[in-house]
Structure 1
């Protein structure tokens, strides 16, 4: 039975990061989320990075939960990857994988997806090793602060990736714009930002709990970036093909943009 209590919020209520991974990013044969949560982002990240327009130094990742699969596409293109998380539980789950500790979530199936998309048959250990080597810091941020990393000073990023985090923490358009502004403040002049999220979504479930999601569509995402001074380089939308009761998104969006210098 679904929890009858009101919807929960990712940044305000208890969030089970391992259950999140198992629910939407597992290797089970009947994983209906694979096309949206894994294949679509991987394909578009691979296309974007291989075009060579993004400088290859510092990447900052601000994404929901403890996901790491999207960073497999980035490890060949950035010297340093810095992951920022707002939840201690998410940090612990991700560090368990980074440190190759017993019980870490297995991302081997995603490596296979990357190899198929990139047509590159690197060994599993080599690909995962590249990600771990580039992923030098997993740090906690505070989204309530104007400078979300205060008092830590980070090197300005060439690129920021945010996978579903804006969807999960924004309650309305003003929230989305405020958080987008905070994220983009971590960029170098002329830096790039990549947003991946669900369209037309109002909720997603983690175990027995329903979490609220910000409902928006492509036109709003485009407008938000333009208002923040970005020029859109790529925007891909994929409509949802598989239906389940765990999440009600209508489609997925991948949008890459750069800020004018």
Structure 2
């Protein structure tokens, strides 16, 4: 079992990470935002679901991946292992003066994905969407996917949608541990619910661990092959698995924000 060592993340500078990765909108960020937007619409509009509850597991310090969620969700929980991340995100949720501004991501979702182009209407819609997201946040809480009870008590769900970006891969060193982590995450999901994963694929397929740095501190991530990842999901009871890839070298803004060891971003949607 891979154990996350708390002191490994005590040095994690959440604001430096947010500034490096989320200071501007780019094609690199458009990839998951498009994917999540489409997943929410297929689940909620396609199946006429409202008032759903959503968990972002391994949220990091930013709220941007759930820009689309307030249209459908009555309750959202953000969860992360690193206290620096939950502290930074709580500042945004509380609208603390001086917290980072993520307006450019909300603008992209509302203008480019939802089609609101009138400038006066757009400004109001962006402000309202951010307020709506803040209002439905039930909590910003601690989680540890390597534990049998992987989330703070009182936030176990089950959830209609669980989204996780670059979390499962940093908490495992081999495919067995990765599968165990998926199993724990699945316990938080309702039967028939949707799991959304955003992760990366290594350039060297023979090397399933990549490294990346934040503020000169080195971290590692497991990169299972797409075939291995699909098998893990199927073994954990998932079906209707959709997986897409976007090459780093062909995606504007990605090479500057991703480890040079990464070949592609993967976006996975699966039903349980």
Q: Normalised by the size of structure 1, how large is the TM-score?
A: 0.86
Determine which of 131, 134, 140 is the counterpart of 2:133: 131
Contact 1:205 1:246 in 2 (8 A): no
> Does 2:17 match 1:16?
no
1:67-106 alpha-carbon deviations (Å, 9 max, x no partner): 2111102121211111112221111100100011022111
Determine which of 243, 247, 261 is the counterpart of 2:255: 243
> Does 2:68 match 1:41?
no
Cα distance in structure 2, aligned partners of 1:157 and 1:167: 21
Contact 1:82 1:136 in 2 (8 A): yes
Flag the 1:156–1:64 CA change in 2: closer, same or farther, 3 A: closer
Partner of 1:77: 72
1:173-226 alpha-carbon deviations (Å, 9 max, x no partner): 122111111111101112110001111171222111221111223222211111
Question: Aligned runs of 1:155-174 on 2, under 5 Å?
Answer: 155-174=157-176
> Does 2:269 match 1:256?
yes
**1:60 deviation in Å?**
0.9
Aligned length: 245
> Does 2:235 match 1:227?
yes
Partner of 1:6: none
Flag the 1:151–1:70 CA change in 2: closer, same or farther, 3 A: closer
Contact 2:142 2:152 in 1 (8 A): no
Cα distance in structure 2, aligned partners of 1:167 and 1:64: 13
- Richer in helix (by share): 2
Cα distance in structure 1, aligned partners of 2:240 and 2:147: 27
Cα distance in structure 1, aligned partners of 2:104 and 2:155: 35
Question: Aligned runs of 1:23-102 on 2, under 5 Å?
Answer: 23-27=20-24, 34-36=26-28, 38-51=29-42, 52-53=45-46, 55-56=49-50, 57-102=52-97
Flag the 1:100–1:211 CA change in 2: closer, same or farther, 3 A: same
Which residues of structure 2 form unaligned runs of 5+? 203-208
Flag the 1:164–1:245 CA change in 2: closer, same or farther, 3 A: closer
Determine helix, strand or coil for the equivalent of 1:66: coil
Flag the 1:169–1:144 CA change in 2: closer, same or farther, 3 A: closer
Determine helix, strand or coil for the equivalent of 2:72: coil
Determine helix, strand or coil for the equivalent of 1:137: strand
